[in-house]
Amino acid sequence: MTTAAEFALFDAIAYQLRARFAGGRPGAHRGRQRGAGARFADTAPLLTHPDPRRIDLRRSLRDPFGTIHVRRFEVPAAVTVHALMDFSASLAVAGAGDRWALAALLGGAVAQGAVRTGDRFALAAARGGDLPPLLRPPLRYSGLGVETRALLDTLEPSGQGIETLTELAAEIPARRTLTFLISDFEMPPEMLSRLLTLLDGHALWPIWLRDSGLDDVSGRFGLCDILDPETGAARTLLMRPGYARAYARRRAECRAATAEVFAAFGRRPIEVVDRIDTEAFVAALATEPA
């Protein structure tokens, strides 16, 4: 059961946003529309923005052409926050952490943050195989965060959901939106590149769920069950130091390739390794999404 203390840690998810959004409803985000607001935006000629109540005397007196200027303010906007989630089989592969539970918690926390700031929350969770994705339209009501987490907790990861994930990304409205992309990113670099291309132009926060137990098996000796993070398939083998080192090297190369793709798109994912470091997570959210 979700506790209030858990979700309190994630209140900053929506409060920390700095990007400008063109929203049709009043809200908590910086907006592109100009009007009566608390945050100063810029000045404009009185002829183009006829509002004599907001004449900027200093700017007007300094204008060499005698143009009368008025002060303009940002109109706070509300947006729809999208959570695009990868619930393919690799998410259920566990070593030192539980990425499935982390994904469910983060999905609920994003929904909770959206509700707290007057935004609507839309969910799209991709599953592999022939299972249909879990889709929820933009909603906003009390208890949405708790309900979202409980729903994701029952969504068993299965199959390879890379294609479904890209299909869901293509369906996000073309208008710039705020999107949380939550995945372990256990996918070939070319597939990740395709996914990021589809999300280009959106304010995107990728959240990279990692498990240190899948990256380092150096402490395991004897018979050992090794799980393929991409497929979730398990196999038993005799773990030897040489194989452990080779395995760790391959995993490091995969992580480096993933990071390189993100860098090529100017994205910096928020890495969650085994558990959520709340202080670091909130600090990462304090920066403007690309």
pLDDT in tens, 101-154: 999 999 998 998 888 878 889 999 998 777 889 999 999 898 898 899 999 999
- The predicted structure's pLDDT at residue 31: 45
Assigned domain for 153 exists: yes
Per 3-state DSSP, the chain is made up of helix, strand and coil in percentages (nearest 5) of: 35, 25, 35
In this model, does residue 258 exceed pLDDT 90? yes
Please write the tens of the pLDDT for every residue from 194-245: 999 999 988 899 999 999 887 876 656 666 666 565 555 556 667 777 777 8
What is the rounded average pLDDT for all residues in the chain?
79
**How are beta strands 25-31 and 80-86 bridged, if at all?**
unpaired
- The predicted structure's pLDDT at residue 246: 81
Residues 60 and 87 placed together within one structural domain of the fold: no
Q: Which of 81, 108, 125 is nearest to 6 (CA)?
A: 108
In this model, does residue 8 exceed pLDDT 60? no
Q: What is the residue whose two structure tokens read 């089989």?
A: 89
Residues 166 and 123 placed together within one structural domain of the fold: yes
| Burial annotation 185-198 (CB, 10 A radius, 16+ → b, else e) | bbbeeeebbbbbeb
In this model, does residue 89 exceed pLDDT 90? no
Q: CATH code at 198?
A: 3.40.50.410
- The predicted structure's pLDDT at residue 226: 63
Distance in angstroms (rounded) separating the CA atoms of residues 134 and 140 = 17
Distance in angstroms (rounded) separating the CA atoms of residues 139 and 60 = 45
**Residue 187 per-residue DSSP state:** S
Residues 115 and 67 placed together within one structural domain of the fold: no
Assigned domain for 115 exists: yes
Residues 143 and 52 placed together within one structural domain of the fold: no
In this model, does residue 37 exceed pLDDT 60? no
Helices (H) and strands (E) in the chain, counts: 10, 14
Res. 33 pLDDT band, cuts 50 70 90: very low
Residues 198 and 117 placed together within one structural domain of the fold: yes
Tokens in use for 185? Answer: 């990113």
Whether the CB-CB separation of 260 and 252 falls below 8 Å is answered with no
Range of the structural domain that residue 51 is part of: 34-74
% of the chain exceeding 70 in pLDDT: 73
Listed in sequence order, the residues at least 6 apart from 142 whose beta carbon sits closer than 8 Å to its beta carbon are 115
Residues 42 and 117 placed together within one structural domain of the fold: no
Residues 138 and 261 placed together within one structural domain of the fold: yes
Res. 6 pLDDT band, cuts 50 70 90: low
Assigned domain for 203 exists: yes
Residues 67 and 100 placed together within one structural domain of the fold: no
If one counts the domains in the chain, the total is 2
Residues 70 and 82 placed together within one structural domain of the fold: no
Instruction: State pTM to two decimals.
Output: 0.76
Assigned domain for 27 exists: no
- The predicted structure's pLDDT at residue 9: 61
Assigned domain for 277 exists: yes
Q: Which of 196, 176, 177, 175 is nearest to 185 (CA)?
A: 196
**How are beta strands 134-139 and 120-126 bridged, if at all?**
antiparallel
Residues 69 and 84 placed together within one structural domain of the fold: no
Residues 11 and 87 placed together within one structural domain of the fold: yes
